Amino acid sequence: MKNVMVCVTQQRNCDRLIQYGHSILDDDRGDLFIIHVAHYQFKFLGNSQEGEALEYLYEKAMSVGAQLTVVRSNNVLDTLVGLVEKYRITHVVLGEPGVVEAQADNLLTQFEEKIQGRAKLLVVPQKHL
């Protein structure tokens, strides 16, 4: 059984990430979780039309039978790790950072280390987004 968590941050990229996550399930039993974790210092969904963005994410999640979770946290990494444990995630899908900086690369490495042995981290290259 596979449980797939798709981490979304921006509307324009989420369609293909969600479809990619959905394709991982194949015909296996399991669940798809669409996750957005926003740091308290940033706008909730990264734009001024937060209500529209939330509705958009909800509709995308519903179209593939996924559960949508949107949370705020001061520690995004620990929150994601906690969700991996809570939902018994086997695969995590993330989009490749636009500009690979040392900090973004380091966060991906830390995340992968924290979920090692529990879930496989899949970073989808920009060209697929």
pLDDT tens, position by position, 12-70? 668 889 999 999 987 778 999 999 988 777 665 555 567 777 888 889 999 999 999 98
CB contact at 8 A, 80 and 89: no
2-128 has which CATH code? 3.40.50.620
pLDDT for the residue numbered 49: 66
pLDDT band, very low/low/confident/very high, at 81 (cuts 50, 70, 90) = very high
Please classify residue 34 by burial: count the beta carbons closer than 10 Å to its beta carbon, then call 0-12 exposed, 13-18 middle and 19+ buried.
buried
pLDDT band, very low/low/confident/very high, at 119 (cuts 50, 70, 90) = very high
pLDDT band, very low/low/confident/very high, at 3 (cuts 50, 70, 90) = very high
What's the whole-model pTM score?
A: 0.86
CB atoms under 10 Å from CB of 127, counted, come to 6
As a whole number of angstroms, the distance between CA 110 and CA 37 comes to 17
pLDDT for the residue numbered 95: 87
CB contact at 8 A, 84 and 52: no
